[in-house]
């Protein structure tokens, strides 16, 4: 494939250029804090229907772009659509988050059917195509970001069956039955590669791997269940698409972040709220892009508190390839006006 230098600010930053002011987007920028999202969500009825109805999913992907003009449009879907595509029963209970029929044994893994996955997930590829078409026509500086959960974080939900503070069942089984857990991680790694490749082929221009629970692991387990599968995914995706940038977000990885960055081969690392961006900037190669990491709660408060925090993040990002973002997803109680103020502040440098 021909290597063309990107012109979209977000893709330039991912290619290693210190773009200033930094391009920005916000994790969970589509969602319940936006009245226009709540309207479409109500129209769809349930969350899986929203994710698998391309016109509706494309609409909510584009809502924050229309309202605030971010530099990236992230596909509206969920990391749990991969286990759903593999055949694991999933529902999103109102106010309770995702609920899956847990899989905790080798025999249980037979319930995962990789052969049928891409057909079930075809509507998501249609969403990617619709979003990319809309951006090409109306917002040519905005990059289309595809994503998946990383195998370990998806495994947390496959095994525990729902959200948890510590995913003790999953982490326990990773020690007590590494044969089972290793096979689960292999299935999810292969499925993730196939899913991400299809998103690129449908029009995604950058990819992000969400590893929200990576930092729950011991360093040795982190190397085995986070770094190894992530590096396999990065290699496999970039073998087919050598120029596709991949953002890795091993949340709560702390001082393991530089090792994660060098061994996985990602083009950008996401910093969570607790990470000192000054430390990360010094600990990471100067050409590696970083993304982060304003506390989402500062955006709920807004005003001077948000401004002071955002300026601190901006100062730390200056002079290196960087993407301004939050340290975790926007929370539902965020006033949309505060997001508008934040975007203007970052754009002012
Ligand atoms: O009622 C609703 O509208 C559902 C709320 C919701 C939304 C808006 C869920 C359920 N998922 C999403 C969208 C979503 N999830 C996106 C869309 C793109 C965006 O705007 O950023 C993305 C990237 C995700 C990723 C995701 N889902 C993660 C990784 C990032 C993170 O926040 O840590 C995780 C862990 C999930 C699982 C999940 N899905 C939904 C919820 C409430 C949860 C968390 C469950 C828990 O408490 O553990």
Residue 99 parent element (H or E): strand 97-100
* Average pLDDT over every residue of 317-341: 97
* Average pLDDT over every residue of 127-141: 98
Residue 224's CB is within 10 A of a number of other CB atoms, namely: 18
311 is catalytic: no
Provide the pLDDT for residue 3. Answer: 59
- Span 241-267, pLDDT tens digits: 999 999 999 999 999 999 999 999 999
Provide the pLDDT for residue 223. Answer: 98
Question: Ligand 1 mean position to 78 CA, how many Å?
Answer: 6
Residue 169: is its pLDDT beyond 70? yes
For the chain, domain boundaries: 9-347
* Average pLDDT over every residue of 215-228: 98
Q: For residue 180, give the nearest of 109, 233, 100 by alpha carbon.
A: 109
Q: Is the CB of 224 under 6 A from ligand 1?
A: no
Provide the pLDDT for residue 52. Answer: 98
Instruction: Please give the Cα distance from 209 to 196 (Å, whole number).
Output: 10
Three-class secondary structure of residue 73 per DSSP: strand
Contacts 24+ apart (CB under 8 A), 50-54: 50/76, 51/76, 51/77, 51/78, 51/81, 51/123, 51/124, 52/123, 52/124, 53/123, 54/123, 54/124, 54/126, 54/127, 54/129, 54/130
78 is catalytic: yes
Q: Where are the alpha helices (DSSP H) in 2-80?
A: 9-14, 35-44, 47-51, 54-68
Provide the pLDDT for residue 2. Answer: 46
Q: For residue 65, give the nearest of 13, 134, 8, 149 by alpha carbon.
A: 134
Three-class secondary structure of residue 163 per DSSP: coil
Instruction: Please give the Cα distance from 111 to 313 (Å, whole number).
Output: 45
Domain 9-347 fold is TIM Barrel (3.20.20)
Quote the Cα angle for 312-318-320, to 5°: 135
CB 24 within 8 A of CB 325: yes
32 is catalytic: yes
Instruction: Give the residue, by CA position, lying nearest to ligand 1 atom 19.
Output: 28
- Span 96-132, pLDDT tens digits: 799 999 999 999 999 999 999 999 999 999 999 999 9
Provide the pLDDT for residue 113. Answer: 97
Report the C-alpha dihedral over residues 165, 166, 169, 175, rounded to 10 degrees: 170
Task: For strands 97-100 and 90-93, give the pairing.
Answer: antiparallel
Catalytic position from the list 12, 28, 132, 171: 28
Instruction: Please give the Cα distance from 65 to 30 (Å, whole number).
Output: 9
Catalytic position from the list 12, 41, 104, 251: 41
Provide the pLDDT for residue 250. Answer: 98
Instruction: Please give the Cα distance from 90 to 82 (Å, whole number).
Output: 10
Q: What is the mean pLDDT of the chain?
A: 97
Pick from 73, 79, 250 the residue to mutate for probing ligand 1's pocket: most ligand atoms within 8 Å of its CB: 79
SS3 content of the chain, % helix, strand, coil (to 5): 55, 15, 35
pTM for the complete prediction? 0.97
Catalytic position from the list 33, 37, 157, 260: 157
Q: Is 306 exposed, middle or buried (0-12, 13-18, 19+ CB in 10 A)?
A: buried
Provide the pLDDT for residue 1. Answer: 47
Q: Is the CB of 56 under 6 A from ligand 1?
A: no
* Average pLDDT over every residue of 289-312: 98
Question: Ligand 1 mean position to 38 CA, how many Å?
Answer: 15
Q: For residue 87, give the nearest of 51, 122, 118, 56 by alpha carbon.
A: 118
Instruction: Give the residue, by CA position, lying nearest to ligand 1 atom 8.
Output: 31
* Average pLDDT over every residue of 161-185: 98
Task: For strands 268-270 and 206-211, give the pairing.
Answer: unpaired
224 is catalytic: no
DSSP class per residue in 122-136: HHHHHHHHHHHHHHH
Provide the pLDDT for residue 85. Answer: 98
Question: Ligand 1 mean position to 329 CA, how many Å?
Answer: 8
Instruction: Please give the Cα distance from 142 to 134 (Å, whole number).
Output: 10
* Average pLDDT over every residue of 289-302: 98
Q: Is the CB of 21 under 6 A from ligand 1?
A: no
What is the b/e burial string over 137-148, where b = at least 16 CB atoms within 10 angstroms of the residue's CB? Answer: eebeebbbbbbb
Instruction: Please give the Cα distance from 234 to 13 (Å, whole number).
Output: 18
Instruction: Please give the Cα distance from 72 to 206 (Å, whole number).
Output: 9
* Average pLDDT over every residue of 61-82: 98
Higher pLDDT, 141 or 93: 141
Instruction: Give the residue, by CA position, lying nearest to ligand 1 atom 21.
Output: 28
């Amino acid at each position: 494939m021909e290597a063309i230098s990107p012109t979209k600010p977000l893709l330039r930053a991912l290619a290693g250029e210190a773009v200033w002011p930094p391009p920005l987007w916000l994790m969970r920028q589509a969602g319940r804090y936006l009245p226009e999202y709540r309207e479409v969500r109500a129209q769809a009825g349930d969350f899986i229907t929203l994710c698998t109805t391309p016109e509706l999913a494309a609409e909510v992907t584009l809502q924050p772009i229309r309202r605030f003009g971010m530099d990236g449009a992230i596909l509206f879907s969920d990391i749990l659509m991969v286990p759903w595509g593999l055949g694991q029963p999933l529902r999103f209970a109102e106010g309770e988050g995702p609920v899956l029929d847990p899989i905790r044994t080798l025999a249980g893994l037979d319930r995962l059917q990789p052969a049928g996955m891409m057909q079930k997930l075809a509507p998501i590829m249609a969403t990617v195509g619709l979003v990319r078409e809309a951006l090409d026509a109306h917002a040519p500086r905005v990059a289309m970001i595809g994503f998946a959960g990383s195998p370990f974080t998806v495994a947390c939900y496959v095994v525990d069956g729902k959200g948890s503070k510590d995913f003790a069942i999953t982490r326990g089984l990773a020690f007590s039955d590494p044969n089972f857990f290793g096979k689960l991680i292999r299935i999810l790694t292969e499925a993730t590669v196939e899913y991400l490749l299809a998103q690129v082929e449908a029009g995604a221009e950058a990819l992000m791997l969400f590893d929200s629970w990576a930092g729950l692991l011991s360093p040795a387990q982190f190397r085995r269940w986070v770094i190894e599968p992530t590096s396999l995914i990065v290699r496999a995706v970039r073998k087919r698409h050598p120029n596709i940038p991949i953002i890795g977000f091993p949340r709560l990885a702390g001082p393991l972040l530089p090792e994660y960055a060098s061994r996985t081969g990602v083009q950008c690392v996401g910093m969570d709220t607790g990470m000192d961006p000054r430390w990360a900037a010094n600990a990471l190669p100067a050409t590696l892009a970083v993304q982060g990491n304003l506390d989402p709660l500062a955006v709920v408060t807004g005003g001077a508190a948000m401004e002071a925090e955002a300026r601190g993040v901006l100062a730390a990002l200056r002079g290196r390839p960087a993407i301004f973002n939050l340290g975790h997803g926007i929370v539902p109680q965020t006033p949309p006006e505060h997001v508008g103020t934040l975007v203007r502040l970052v754009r002012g440098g």
